Homo-oligomer: A and B are copies of this chain.
Amino acid sequence: MIAINDLRHVKVEAARTARARYRAGTIEPTSGIAPGFTQANMIVLPRDWAFDFLLYAQRNPKACPVLDVSDPGSHATLLAPGADLRKDLPLYRIWRDGKLAEETADATVAWGEHPDLVSFLIGCSFTFETSMVEAGIEIRHITDRSNVPMYLTNKACRPAGRLHGNMVVSMRPIPASRVADAATISGRFPAVHGAPVHVGAPEEIGIKDLAKPEFGDPVRIKPGEVPVFWACGVTPQAAVMASGVPFAITHAPGHMFITDIPDSAYHA
């Protein structure tokens, strides 16, 4: 991994333009947007819950690889100087007592309810999709301009403090002849979920119907393709639900924070 400070020369217009559009109100899934720039999941919690969550992330690094943590009360991040985490994602979810209370394109009002919110930015598998496309592996949800399908599994994460829950996975159908390549390429990006956690046999991880993802949209699976599952940064939202967390702000699944950091920075 390359030090963030060594990347300051990178031309970041594409990332800034996308964030400006979202700040202005555009809502869209971010897969395929600003290719080559790392995207991040987000969860924002009061300071009182911050240690529990950071420990949950440390204990479940494949699902929750932490890229940056803001100081309490700040809405800035090292990963995109000048960005405002309250406004620059396309769509947010506000959670109360473990339940989805609201979706909004601007989280400023909800953010104002707590003076000490800590923001966690978590690696996203969209980051290695560009490398897979460059290797000739089609990413179906990019081709079809839909959101990636995500499923709640039966795999329990290791609990931490008051937080517990199961892993969420994203799924991409991959031709059987390219599954090994997809595993190898994504494995080079351990900070953004890395190699798949499961290949084929969805019922083994509690997925009954691939056509009915808990988050995102279903995708076409062609004959000869195998469903390949990667740990997903929506896992914190499953923990919010399972643990009845009193207050949280997250991104809406598939609607990520686009950073100024090139994907290559997270190449092992």
Contacts and interface: CB of A to CB of B under 8 A. Distances in A.
Interface of A: 1, 47, 50-51, 54-55, 58-59, 61, 66, 69, 71, 161, 190, 268
Contacts of A71: 161
Given A1-B61, A51-B54, A71-B161, 12 more contacts: A1-B190, A47-B51, A50-B51, A51-B51, A54-B54, A54-B55, A55-B69, A58-B58, A58-B69, A190-B190, A190-B268, A268-B268
A85 to B, nearest CB: 17
A252 B50 CA distance: 30
Number of copies: 2
A217 B47 CA distance: 42
Contacts of A51: 47, 50-51, 54
A58 B66 contact: yes
A215 to B, nearest CB: 25
A123 to B, nearest CB: 13
The 6 nearest A-B residue pairs measured at CB: A51-B51, A54-B54, A50-B51, A58-B66, A55-B69, A268-B268
12 contacts: A1-B61, A1-B190, A54-B54, A54-B55, A54-B58, A55-B69, A58-B58, A58-B69, A59-B69, A71-B161, A190-B190, A268-B268
A105 to B, nearest CB: 29
Contacts of A66: 58
Contacts of A161: 71
Nearest to A1: B190
A59 B54 CA distance: 12
A51 B50 CA distance: 7
Contacts of A69: 55, 58-59
A58 B161 CA distance: 18
Nearest to A59: B69
Nearest to A52: B51
